[in-house]
Amino acid sequence: MIANTFEQVIKTRRSIRSFTDKIPSRQDIDVLVESAIYAPYWGATGIPLWDIRKIIVIHQDSEKMKRLQKLLFSAVKKNARGLNILLKLLPFLKKKMWPFANILKILSENGMQSLYQAPYYIIIAERKWFPPIEKQSIAHALENMWLTATNLWLGFQLLSATGGLMSKNKEFLDILGLEKGKYQIDWCLVGYATKYPKKIKEFDKEKFVTWIK
């Protein structure tokens, strides 16, 4: 296998939304979760990192995964219906909210294919504190895992769009062993991609950067 340079890892990181049933090795998953532990976190809490950040690795074939999927899918359906009604009542919200409402509509009609394919579902839970910057911390942990997954030729999908739906769902949190209200959660799927995007995206730096001298 050809080694990646750091720059290649960053530039080839992509969202994978379709997975094979090949199961990544325990060793690779260990490297992946370890990278999440080393990501930055809100350090001024005075509590140990293992209590600030929880990493929950769930196997596709487990009983708990089936229960989580069921809860998530019914939350997606309920929210898709709710948003649909809201946008009918308040059409001026459409411009901003339609893309997300549409994603939920498609997921609720067609199912969440990758959620039932990927061998691993990994949840990051971060203690809520003051100021409330746990979402940023989670993003650091997820990005570390994403880049590590890319380096290991593993496929990775963020499921953040549905994360907010479950952070307050007691039944869902109980399965994860998390106390309601104490943690923010977010998640991803990991496995092998059915197909990797071939082309590296090219961006024009000048469109993004402002230099102030």
Q: Which residues bind ligand FMN (CB under 6 A)?
A: 14-15, 17, 157-162
CB of 202 to ligand FMN, least distance (A): 12
Residue 66: how many other CB atoms lie within 10 Å: 12
Output the smallest distance, CB 10 to ligand FMN, in A.
11
Q: Which is nearer to ligand FMN, 89 or 153 (CB)?
A: 153
DSSP state of 122: E
Task: Kindly give, in sequence order, each residue whose CB lies less than 8 Å from that of residue 24, ignoring residues fewer than 6 positions away.
Answer: 119, 120, 152, 154, 190, 191, 192
Rounded least distance, CB 135 to ligand FMN, Å: 9
The CB-of-193 to ligand FMN minimum distance in angstroms stands at: 11
Comparing CB distances to ligand FMN, the nearer of 45 and 74 is 74
Nearest CB to ligand FMN, comparing residues 15 and 74: 15
Alpha-carbon dihedral of residues 189, 191, 194, 197, nearest 10 degrees?
Answer: 70
Could you write out the DSSP letters of every residue in 139-153? HHHHHHHHHHHHHTT
- Residue with smaller CB distance to ligand FMN, 12 or 84: 12
- Alpha-carbon distance of 122 to 58, in angstroms, equals 6
